[in-house]
Structure 1
């Protein structure tokens, strides 16, 4: 199971590694969705936000498990009390659930990233009279600790902290709030003091576990709201040995009007986050300045020698698509120009037609493919007031977000093969490997020094045949070995009459 963070791997999603092109154009890979969900929740619940950690030879998924009913309907019925009355009154609604079980965290595993299983024998949390389920956390600890001020969580992220004591090795970050926060809007006659107490308690919290299964208190308040809303996510920046917190940024253009914007901050430590959260992308013309789409949030991750991420576009708080974004150290995050959504809602009637959002992690590298695990929702076929939520996967070629393809029209006009010349890179690998396809045996490669002067023995005419379709097609030259160039800065030149180059590793 490979780690996408690879300092020797260079992508072609933008021009950062491109010096010159002749008769080449950027093309984009298209993720192909598997037609059926790969994971469903236990009866009476649906799957929402999630994250995947790859460790111990398997992929581990934690996801938010929520009830299909609208919690405002349950509150309005008085399931959790009215006025000064607080408690659980199940006789007031046929679908009543305790306030601390409207949102829970559940667990699943996979050996290949495609086939997922629920360990329904954990025996930790009772649901509908049984502990035979995969639930690892509900809100009961938080309700008791904060005297009912927080009851349920959203957008959970689980990370492994190898610097922590063994009993705190895993950390779960989430937004915690109260089902009572909106009681004033549904006529429950709550006191202003109570409502303010609920809102004041809403924040980002963390819990710890020795194994990711057994979670214990306390529920520790770790971060205040940056820009409002219940968005939350923590991911590891392996390259810089830091952590990212994906949050919402405060926007300053619309006055009191709330518009979602993607925000990001970083920290060396998981227990010390900056107050300021940078707004990563402007809400521009494509979003009609927030009127058509909002930026629901983003999920960053390392890939190759850079960072990528999914920027979520939402309408009325429902994520509809994830766009590819790119970042290099010392530069700003940028949307990848011309790239279609990595994933987007399916057609009306399909089981991911209402909401889609990728899990908070890099794609899983499975053989020659990238596997994107994502959550999809639709309205229930039986009752439009109910929502269904599942986990799905989408697949595309490894490194295949974007590549450089031979432009046949331009090549014919120039009367010669197409060329890709890279910016100088430092040789850290034992060989040059191209992620290349469709070149029909016409691809050749050469190496030059930083001044674009040929390096003896590494010319195009010295290049041996390159595999036709290979995500790591090794390039060799007669009588010359890349090992002797380790540590040097070199320019790569690839010549081809047809095909696509998705990445190079050197």
Structure 2
């Protein structure tokens, strides 16, 4: 897998060579008052890229908008639908029938759920404690009267599989000896934070499944292994010394994905800084030699730490499933719990929450605590998620939920839920029935189409107009009063104007789109190409 010299650029940074020209023209245009006659729209000095490079743009992407020309709006995460009919999918083995003594505590679990198109199986790889005497020997009914004591624990990696994603089996693999028997579903012992990647494009079938994990015995180190069938892996191979396996660090979900922009393997792991957990990234072209992990993201103090953050890419942005650990003050209601938030990045190196307001940030909500452990729902205190699996018009998220405190008595189980495709987060009205105004930065409409993914409630509406690139001067023929919205039947709306066509616009020019709406959620826009950003890193 080769290294792209543009690997550190944002998705629009490639066009930085024309940014200065466009920005200067935009500044000249936006300086004009709103009552001025329409001015000449700045034109790109270079040809636009191939239309195939144009993508849909999610509403939470700040690079899409002119933040100074917005009103009564905020971003909220999309609705997460839990599979309440089937959750939890499987629990710790000491609570199942048959009884599995090597599964006393999943703890965080760090689930990796993969759809294997060859075997036609869902495969789940999860971290657990294969030995935890305190959990194994204490019934839930007795735990309220005793402290949870960390003693004699041993980590491992286990495997489960399913044909439908609902009914799971834990097969007897015959690989790991546990107390004199290999009739168990264990893949390894003395490792934690395991990631398993299905790499369909690797020409070597023996490397089709790639595993990365933190080895805890015989010298702590990040290690890799390979498998043809997803079950029988090669021996663990420690990172080369030059790669700089983090110590301390790596004690989280060490998740790997393939960056489609660079064709590199990317590891999201963890470092420590002054007793604070921070997310870090490493890259590799061969899955064996890795760059030294560097910090890419952190929360706020002890109270909101990023415990782990599995990452996936969609339409040119990177989405992180950030499990936020709350520590530092045991009088807080969220103390010793783990929430799951959705974060995003345009380049993998800088991250931010999708929703800024704390009350809107949670992506996978906790279940009902019902007064606290042991009475809460299976996911009432802790959530760690795998990256999603897309099926038809849904994205399914498999996650390990826990009831009980992160460092206290806890029972964990695998659950799942879904969101509608492309509905990660939306712009919505901040205050009631007032009109919301959204204004984009300069957009190019060379394809002659404009579509918005939106939900309009009964009594709500959405209208659009085009303005100059600075967002201050309405373009004749594209006023709000002439705006038309046509439903496509899949949530996407076709936007047009009576008597005017987008195809009549200068194909090399940029225009700002102003959206006015009431009781409406805007999720994404497509059919556009944003101008090179003035305020971006290159």
Answer yes or no: same fold by TM over 0.5.
yes
Does residue 444 of structure 1 match 2:463?
yes
Matches within 5 A, 1:199-210: 201-210=219-228
Structure-2 change in CA distance of 1:15 and 1:378 (3 Å): same
Query: Contact between 2:312 and 2:319, CA under 8 Å: does it hold in 1?
Result: yes
Structure-2 change in CA distance of 1:131 and 1:56 (3 Å): same
Does residue 262 of structure 1 match 2:279?
yes
Shift of 1:469: 8.1
Shift of 1:501: 1.0
Corresponding residue for residue 364 of structure 2: 343
Corresponding residue for residue 394 of structure 1: 417
Unaligned runs of 5+ in 1: 1-5, 75-97, 140-150, 179-197, 412-416
CA distance in 2, matches of 1:54, 1:7: 28
Match of 2:111 among 50, 74, 94: 50
Shift of 1:306: 1.6
C-alpha distance after superposition, 1:277-322 (max 9, x if no partner):
22522x53xxxx32x4433232222233322212222257966112
Secondary structure of the 1:351 match is: coil
CA distance in 2, matches of 1:25, 1:250: 36
Higher relative CO (Cα under 8 Å, sequence separation at least 6) belongs to 2
Corresponding residue for residue 18 of structure 1: 65
Corresponding residue for residue 148 of structure 1: none
Corresponding residue for residue 238 of structure 1: 260
Does residue 374 of structure 1 match 2:386?
no
Structure-2 change in CA distance of 1:352 and 1:121 (3 Å): closer
Secondary structure of the 1:211 match is: coil
Structure-2 change in CA distance of 1:206 and 1:49 (3 Å): same
C-alpha distance after superposition, 1:389-414 (max 9, x if no partner):
21112334443343222456684xxx
C-alpha distance after superposition, 1:371-394 (max 9, x if no partner):
3221012369xxx99753211123
Shift of 1:37: 0.9
Does residue 31 of structure 1 match 2:80?
yes
Query: Contact between 2:116 and 2:123, CA under 8 Å: does it hold in 1?
Result: no
CA distance in 2, matches of 1:54, 1:471: 27
Secondary structure of the 1:234 match is: strand
Does residue 166 of structure 1 match 2:205?
yes
Structure-2 change in CA distance of 1:409 and 1:341 (3 Å): closer
CA distance in 1, matches of 2:171, 2:246: 36
CA distance in 2, matches of 1:497, 1:7: 28
CA distance in 1, matches of 2:337, 2:257: 20
Query: Contact between 1:447 and 1:455, CA under 8 Å: does it hold in 2?
Result: yes
CA distance in 2, matches of 1:238, 1:368: 22
Corresponding residue for residue 466 of structure 1: 486
Does residue 500 of structure 1 match 2:511?
no
Matches within 5 A, 1:421-432: 421-425=439-443, 431-432=449-450
Secondary structure of the 1:466 match is: strand
Unaligned runs of 5+ in 2: 1-52, 94-98, 137-151, 328-334, 528-538
C-alpha distance after superposition, 1:413-454 (max 9, x if no partner):
xxxx54322123455878433221125473233456646577
Shift of 1:205: 0.8
Structure-2 change in CA distance of 1:123 and 1:373 (3 Å): closer
Shift of 1:174: 1.0
Structure-2 change in CA distance of 1:429 and 1:169 (3 Å): farther
Matches within 5 A, 1:295-444: 295-315=306-326, 320-329=338-347, 332-335=350-353, 336-338=355-357, 339-346=360-367, 347=369, 348=372, 349-359=376-386, 361=387, 363-378=388-403, 387-406=410-429, 411=434, 418-425=436-443, 431-439=449-457, 440=459, 442-444=461-463
CA distance in 1, matches of 2:63, 2:418: 25
Shift of 1:209: 1.2
CA distance in 2, matches of 1:107, 1:355: 21
CA distance in 2, matches of 1:424, 1:270: 40
Corresponding residue for residue 185 of structure 1: none
Shift of 1:13: 2.2
CA distance in 2, matches of 1:52, 1:7: 30
- Length, aligned pairs only: 419
